[in-house]
């Protein structure tokens, strides 16, 4: 059975792809020692059985979170037949970083370019052919929410599994100095058993400053090896920044060669109004004018209601005085001036508040 791992950052539709392909044929389990779920499922295409592994969403393989550590260890230790890296067509630049890291593992890869419909709606067009040429592996445009392109995705994964050498994407070029340091670290690692980690990839992670893997390597080296490791890492203090910069430059070049940015649309009327009303000098004047207009409208509308209410209260006060005063002037004064007067003050605010 063919094993295909689905990798990708959060919110790119990776789990949607997994659910559409596997349906109810799923199994959810926890990675040993972790609480993060690792979901597996099965499907079939053209008589070929496929075991799909939905890796936790991860922005990178740096293992700074449980999700990233599980995604990385699953790829490194299990070595799936094919890795499908899901990226977002509307956010190509943001989601290609993980691809750059997975490419360093040397596994056969297919890129699932998801949400192409959303990208088109935003005026963004991604040339899948140009993207495939520069990445060095097949790129399949998808709309996972509708299932469009999923059959072709499986076909490409099966084809890549049969000829893996054709779809091993090359990682970004790091420059001569970093490559020399990388070769030096490879020589140090050649003295120990690095299983299950590939030597080239492990050397790259040491350059990136991965603390967990550095500690693992240190535990396996002898005194001479530790001295050589410290010397090499001492020359690579700024390597993590330089590696990240090289990857982002590589991503920027890929995006410029494969993505057509949206045309600048005409500025809407509301945007023009916002620009004027929120400006430094005109904004306060607009605010004062609006507040003045609101108060004028409110009091203009509420004045007739307040006057009518006062007239009704005056009639009620006269009637109450005529009825109660012959019996008790004090009670009449309390009811008219106290009860009706207080109620009238409160009720006079109701029309004003109602206008808001």
What pLDDT tens digit does each residue of the chain (356 aa) get?
Answer: 899 999 999 989 998 999 999 986 555 454 444 446 678 999 999 999 999 999 999 998 887 788 888 899 899 989 999 999 999 999 998 889 999 999 988 899 999 999 999 999 988 899 999 999 889 899 999 999 999 999 999 999 999 998 876 556 666 667 888 889 999 999 999 989 988 888 999 999 999 998 889 999 999 999 999 999 999 888 888 899 999 998 899 899 999 989 886 655 555 677 778 878 777 778 888 888 888 888 887 777 777 777 777 788 788 877 877 887 787 877 777 777 777 777 777 777 776 676 66
Which pLDDT value is given to residue 48?
94
Cα atoms in the 13 Å half-sphere on the side-chain side of 268: 3
Which pLDDT value is given to residue 114?
97
Which pLDDT value is given to residue 31?
46
Longest dimension (CA), the chain: 116
Cα atoms in the 13 Å half-sphere on the side-chain side of 38: 22
CA distance 75 to 56: 11
Where does residue 281 rank: exposed (0-12), middle (13-18), buried (19+ CB within 10 A)?
Answer: exposed
Other beta carbons within 10 Å of 158: 19
Which pLDDT value is given to residue 319?
81
Closest among 77, 69, 66, 80 to 6, alpha carbons compared: 80
Q: Which residue is associated with the tokens 């590589």?
A: 250
**CA-to-CA separations, 320 to 50, 51, 310, 344, 348, in angstroms, rounded:** 91, 89, 15, 14, 20
Which pLDDT value is given to residue 33?
46
């Amino acid at each position: 059975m063919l094993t295909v791992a689905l990798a990708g950052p959060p919110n790119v539709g990776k789990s949607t792809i997994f659910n559409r392909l596997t349906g109810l044929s799923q199994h959810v389990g926890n990675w040993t020692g972790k609480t993060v779920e690792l979901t597996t499922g099965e499907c079939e295409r053209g008589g070929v059985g496929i075991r799909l592994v939905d890796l936790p969403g991860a922005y990178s393989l740096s293992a700074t979170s449980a999700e990233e550590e599980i995604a990385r260890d699953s790829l490194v230790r299990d070595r799936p037949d094919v890795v499908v890296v899901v990226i977002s067509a509307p956010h190509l630049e943001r989601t290609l970083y993980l691809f750059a890291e997975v490419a360093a593992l040397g596994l056969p890869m297919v890129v699932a370019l998801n949400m192409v419909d959303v990208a088109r709606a935003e005026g963004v067009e991604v040339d899948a052919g140009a993207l495939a040429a520069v990445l060095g592996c097949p790129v399949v445009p998808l709309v996972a929410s509708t299932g469009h392109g999923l059959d072709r995705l499986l076909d490409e994964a099966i084809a890549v599994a049969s000829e893996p050498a054709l779809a091993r994407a090359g990682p970004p070029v790091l420059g001569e100095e970093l490559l020399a340091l990388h070769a030096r670290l490879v020589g140090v690692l050649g003295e120990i058993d690095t299983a299950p980690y590939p030597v080239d990839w492990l050397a790259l992670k040491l350059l990136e400053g991965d603390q967990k893997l550095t500690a693992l390597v240190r535990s396996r080296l002898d005194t001479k090896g530790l001295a050589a490791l410290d010397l090499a890492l001492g020359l690579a203090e700024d390597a993590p920044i330089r590696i990240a910069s090289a990857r982002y430059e590589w991503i920027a070049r890929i995006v410029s060669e494969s993505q057509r940015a949206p045309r600048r649309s005409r500025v809407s009327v509301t945007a023009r109004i916002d620009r004027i009303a929120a400006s430094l000098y005109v904004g306060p004047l607009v605010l004062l004018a609006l507040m003045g207009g609101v108060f004028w409208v409110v009091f203009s509308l509420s004045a007739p209601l307040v006057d009518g209410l006062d007239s009704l209260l005056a009639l009620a006060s006269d009637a109450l005085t005529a009825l109660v005063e012959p019996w008790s002037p004090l009670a009449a004064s309390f009811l008219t001036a106290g009860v009706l007067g207080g109620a009238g003050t409160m009720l006079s605010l109701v029309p004003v508040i109602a206008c808001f």
